[in-house]
Chains A and B, each alone.
Chain A
Amino acid sequence: MTSEVVTAPRRQSRRGAAFRDAGPPVALIVIFAIFSALSPQFRSTDNVQNIVDAAAVLAVVTCGITFVLMMGSIDLSAAGVMGACALTVSLLVANNRNDNGFGLLGIAVAVLLGCAFGALSGLALVLLKVPSFMATLGMSAVGLGVATLMFAGVQPNITDTMVKGLAIERFLGFSYLTWIAAVCVLLGWLIQRYTRLGRYAYAIGGAEEVLALSGVKVKPYKVAVFALAGAFYGLGGVMVTSQLGAGLVQAGDGYDFSAITAAVVGGTLLTGGRGGIPHSAVGVLLVMVLTNGLVQVGVSPYWQGGVEGLIVVAAVAAAVIPQRRRNQVVK
């Protein structure tokens, strides 16, 4: 009689794992070298700064989504949550619609709102058993709805110099937003490496049943992971608002897909249990270098969306080659 506990983890060579981990950084270096050789414009200091600055928001959003992907779930709520948080922060700091001027507190409230959205997605997943795919898609629509209500037909332009300055002013050559992103990546890595939340998120993706058999209550951790991701999206919404100088419903447009692309390209498997924040950071740079480089060597920007889509499908296909098995059902 076989017990239905867990299938024995298949043995895999260390070299195989190391090879897979080394893939994305090597690809990043190779692609960077190719574009540098093709275009003097690409390798200029200004452009490198551009690439890194342009990567800031995506890096923060990807940090959030990485924790969800590590767990083996998926999160499509980034766009909606970012929209709602963008409107929230723009209406709370000094702006042309009301007399508020909460500054940093406004930012904190926006981040907390993102956190709340994430927690709701997580609760829908564990309590109502809605698959994360659907729960977060719904939450994205809710976020966009909340944002539209707050927008109320009149665009809130922010006048808070501190918030606006984050995108414009520079420190050591990079914008403040870039430094915020760098701190987020570091923070994300610390959470992943040194907290129970981070390690359990990783373990849930590895073998959830084993955690349950060991007496770990998995559900609170799932909710917490979605809440953490939501907080990152909230911060992402604030950063976009700073860049645009105004609160827009569409602040998070496209970030959901780009963040998943970046995480997957970096080596975080959609099946969970592999990859992490450092991988995702590399993935973000890979995606940004590629989009920037293609423009620099003269490829029409109209191609970008399609190219990004092809990259993510190719990356997923490459990552699952070792796991391909006959008669495996993929849904």
Chain B
Amino acid sequence: MNALEVRGLVKHYPGVTALDGVDLAVRPNEVLGLAGENGAGKSTLLKALVGLVTPDAGTIHVRGEQVKLRSVVDAANHGIGMVFQEQSLVPNLTAAENIVLGSEGPAVRRGIYRWDVMRRLAQEQLDKIGSPIDPLARTDSLSFADRQMVEIAKVLRIEERSQHPPVVILDEPTSVLESKEIETLFAQIRRLREFATVIFVSHRLDEVLDVCDRVCVLRGGKSVGEVAAAGAVPRELHRMMIGSTGSDDHYHGSAATTVVEEQPRLSVRGLSGASFHDISFDVAPGEIVGIVGVHGSGREDVCRALFGAEPTTAGEIRMDGTRIDLPSTRAACAAGIGYVPAERKTEGMVGALSVAENMTLAKQQARCAGPFVAPKKQATLVDSWIRRLSIRTPGRDTPIQRLSGGNQQKVILARWLVAGDIRLLLLDHPTRGLDVGVRSEVYRLMRELAATGVATVLLGDSLEEAVGMADRILVMNDGRVATEVPCPTGAKPTPLDLVKEMV
């Protein structure tokens, strides 16, 4: 009997189908790997398994019995627990409290703490994984790897609730660990297999193959196949993850600009900051440069630093040959730099403000006459951009939060175009959460901008996207530029070539 089985799970979000009939079976005491590109539906699937997402259709079976998981507690009662990607421990409590949190049992009687009992209960869990952590240490005084052990110990406590071998889900547990810590974690996972079932999710395919018995691949919200880990190679997995799609057309490759060798638009030399070191690269006018790297490679911070939103400690930035300082985002705007942040809802837009206000947010002078807003000027300007980008909105005064994600993103892009002074565009996951059709429109827009001579730095939502759109790709690893790969239309590197440099 399978420890856990998922049949035909479907989950729709407005405009996106995150899960499109996923099937998955996990056998008792195996380590199952889950692989897939960003947006393949891994996160949604995991959330459904721990009761954080209610599926629209399909069933979940635990040990042969169909269950409905409504909350994390529900899932725990069925013996399913998850170690979250971003750690979910209360930093100012002790390790012991975190381990027993929510199921203190005899450690708290009538609301009164019994610290000795709590310590013992926590120690039992820590002993299971052979961790030497002091249960009464404050959690924020522990190293990241130690905190992860605490988290695993916490998840193992569900064993006491369900009286069955637990199913432990590890969501990208290695993304922020050092290689030595990863070894410890893997030893831990092999140990867990003795008494538990493990689902392991990671971006790093070599790791997945290293630690798992079997790997299941998701693509576009569907399970597209599985491979036995023994004897498999990352290349094989990667082909399954990407599939045979990704025709050049999708990325409007034919519209790619031919970069003429001239003075670079952006020239970065030796840029260093808290999480990146000695970054140097050029971007020519009309060129799209992709930066790829795993979570924690520092590429997001480089992007923010170029917009003056992240402090730098050394290095210089030149725009069209002139050295510029970027102490603030204001300075970056003035220098003709535009930034489309990854977190559209929180950083990209002001939800309650209208389309017109969001579009003119950064370039007020474009809609003003002197210090005052000129309504006619604003109307003409905004309407012309709504037409040019075919933004679907009831009108320019509609609050931006009522638009679909794709149209919101177009308004945010238009924000940098209204003044006509844009020279460099920084795009951080510009297509995150958008469905395929809208993505294609955003790609077309990027091509058009490039054709007018705008330089673009792109942090792609997936490797495939970065390869498809970029003329050149920087691979970042551990805060440094590992390599630079030319990426012209017709001679694109495969994502796999890049993965080798990323890990």
Contact = CB atoms under 8 A, between A and B. Distances in A.
Do A and B interact with each other, yes or no?
Answer: yes
Interface of A: 1-3, 5-9, 11-12, 14, 17, 193-197, 199, 202-203, 205-207, 209-211, 213-216, 273-274, 326-327
B181 to A, nearest CB: 14
Contact of B92 (A7, A213, A273): A273
B93 A202 contact: yes
Nearest to A273: B92
Contact of A214 (B39, B102, B108): B102
Given A3-B86, A207-B91, A195 B112 contact: yes
Interface string B101-131: 1111000100111010000000000000000
Nearest to B141: A14
A19 B177 CA distance: 29
Closest 10 CB pairs of A and B: A215-B73, A214-B102, A9-B91, A206-B92, A215-B102, A214-B101, A206-B90, A203-B90, A207-B90, A273-B92
B90 A211 contact: yes
Nearest to B342: A2
Contact of A6 (B71, B87, B92, B104): B87
A195 B115 CA distance: 10
Contact of A9 (B85, B87, B176): B87
B97 interface: yes
B309 A326 contact: yes
B329 interface: yes
B43 interface: yes
Contact of B89 (A9, A17, A205): A9
Given A196-B111, A214-B72, A3 B102 contact: no
Given A11-B140, A194-B112, A203-B92, A326 B311 contact: yes
Nearest to B328: A326
Contacts of A196: 104, 108, 111-113
29 contacts: A1-B38, A1-B39, A1-B42, A3-B85, A3-B86, A5-B88, A6-B84, A6-B88, A9-B91, A9-B147, A12-B140, A14-B141, A17-B140, A17-B141, A194-B113, A194-B115, A196-B104, A199-B93, A203-B101, A206-B90, A210-B89, A210-B101, A213-B84, A213-B88, A215-B76, A273-B92, A274-B92, A326-B309, A327-B329
Given A11-B143, A199-B93, 11 more contacts: A3-B47, A3-B171, A6-B84, A14-B141, A195-B112, A196-B112, A207-B89, A213-B72, A214-B88, A214-B103, A327-B309
A232 B89 CA distance: 31
Contacts of B141: 14, 17
Nearest to B461: A1
A214 to B, nearest CB: 4
B275 to A, nearest CB: 13
Residue picked from A197, A207, A215, most chain B C-beta under 10 Å: A215
B388 to A, nearest CB: 30
A3 B113 contact: no
Contacts of A203: 90, 92-93, 97, 101
Given A3-B171, A327-B329, A202 B92 contact: yes
Contact of B71 (A12, A193, A205, A215): A215
Contacts of B73: 215
Residue picked from A197, A203, A213, most chain B C-beta under 10 Å: A213
B347 to A, nearest CB: 9
Nearest to A4: B86
Interface in B183-226: none
Nearest to B101: A214
Contacts of A195: 111-113
A206 B91 contact: yes
A142 to B, nearest CB: 29
A211 B71 CA distance: 13
A194 B114 CA distance: 7
A220 to B, nearest CB: 11
A199 to B, nearest CB: 7
Contact of A210 (B39, B88, B113): B88
B139 interface: yes
B91 A197 contact: no
Contacts of B92: 202-203, 205-206, 273-274
A12 B101 CA distance: 23
Contacts of B90: 203, 206-207, 210-211
Residue picked from A193, A196, A211, most chain B C-beta under 10 Å: A196
Contacts of A5: 84-86, 88
Contacts of B310: 326
Interface in B326-340: 329
Residue picked from A2, A17, A205, A211, most chain B C-beta under 10 Å: A2
A210 B101 CA distance: 9
Interface in B36-52: 38-39, 42-43, 47
Contacts of A193: 113
A217 to B, nearest CB: 9
B144 interface: yes
A5 B83 CA distance: 11
Given A195-B113, A215-B102, A274-B92, A3 B140 contact: no
A215 B72 contact: yes
A244 B295 CA distance: 64
Contacts of B309: 326-327
Contacts of A7: 86
Interface string B15-36: 0000000000000000000000
Nearest to A204: B90
Contacts of B38: 1
Contacts of A8: 86-87, 144, 176
A271 B97 CA distance: 21
A14 B140 CA distance: 9
A199 B111 CA distance: 10
Contact of B102 (A1, A11, A216, A327): A216
Contacts of B47: 3
Contacts of A11: 140, 143-144
A193 B112 CA distance: 9
A327 B73 CA distance: 37
A55 B90 CA distance: 34
Contacts of A12: 140
B368 to A, nearest CB: 24
Nearest to B41: A1
A209 B91 CA distance: 12
A9 B139 contact: yes
Nearest to B139: A9
B300 to A, nearest CB: 10
Contacts of B329: 327
Contacts of A210: 88-90, 101
Contacts of A214: 72, 88, 101-103, 154
Residue picked from B91, B97, B111, B141, most chain A C-beta under 10 Å: B91
Contacts of B42: 1
A247 B192 CA distance: 66
